[in-house]
Amino acid sequence: MAAILVDYENVGNANGLRGVDVLQETDTLVIFYSGCCGKIRYDYMQEIKCSGCRFKVVRLKEAGKNALDFYIASECGVLSERGEKQIAIISNDKGFQAVIDFFQMDAETKKVQVVRAGNIETALTFFTIPEEDQRREILKNRMFTLDLAAECARIEERNKVQREIRELLQGTAYTERTAEIIDFIDERKNCEKKELYLERWRES
């Protein structure tokens, strides 16, 4: 369960909402914006709807320097009073470090974990909640890096095999199911590798 406060003026055009697809019903998402940035990508909006999270937007009433920052800092205080223990500020503005420092000042406010990140995905990795192990695993897998050359070679090999199978099945009822057949073969390979590993492990 986390409260996500988005400085949309700061990160709206910089993938700040990346990670909305892993939000849950118990999360709260608040987007702070001004009149100059009131648009949102369709896919992000659909993901917010599907998540079932508590969602609201706060529009800046009057323009002013750092006005949205004050809104967000105030919301942090309101949420902590309501019992929220994990608050993420989505912004590239380093000035929010002052808010984080404030919550670290004494034992009472230190119970509230406040973090800052450039997007939702990164922010959620800071929170450790036992019942959300699945979400953490998804985020961990996303950030796992792969060897670019090796992955390119793997895709080329798959495409080559797919073309060969399509030629063999040309004119049959299976012509349009080539990708499905490739997936099945890959799945069998992975199963065989796993079985071989387990067998060797048992022998050792």
Q: pLDDT tens across 87-101, in order?
A: 999 999 999 999 999
Burial of 9 (0-12, 13-18, 19+ CB in 10 A): buried
Closest CA to 14 of 71, 93, 75: 93
Express each pLDDT in 178-188 by its tens digit. Answer: 777 777 776 66
E strand or H helix that includes residue 57? strand 54-59
Burial of 96 (0-12, 13-18, 19+ CB in 10 A): buried
Nearest-angstrom CA–CA distance, 129 and 45: 26
The Cα-based distances of 183 to 177, 180, 188 in angstroms read 10, 5, 9
Burial of 85 (0-12, 13-18, 19+ CB in 10 A): middle
Residue 130 has pLDDT above 70, yes or no: no
Q: Cβ atoms within 10 A of the Cβ of 112, count?
A: 19
Express each pLDDT in 167-180 by its tens digit. Answer: 887 878 777 777 77
Please, which residues bridge with residue 59 across strands? 33
Q: Mean of the pLDDT values across residues 136-147?
A: 70
Q: Can you tell me whether residue 173 is helix, strand or coil? A: coil
C-alpha of 91 from chain center: 15
What percent of the chain has pLDDT above 70? 82
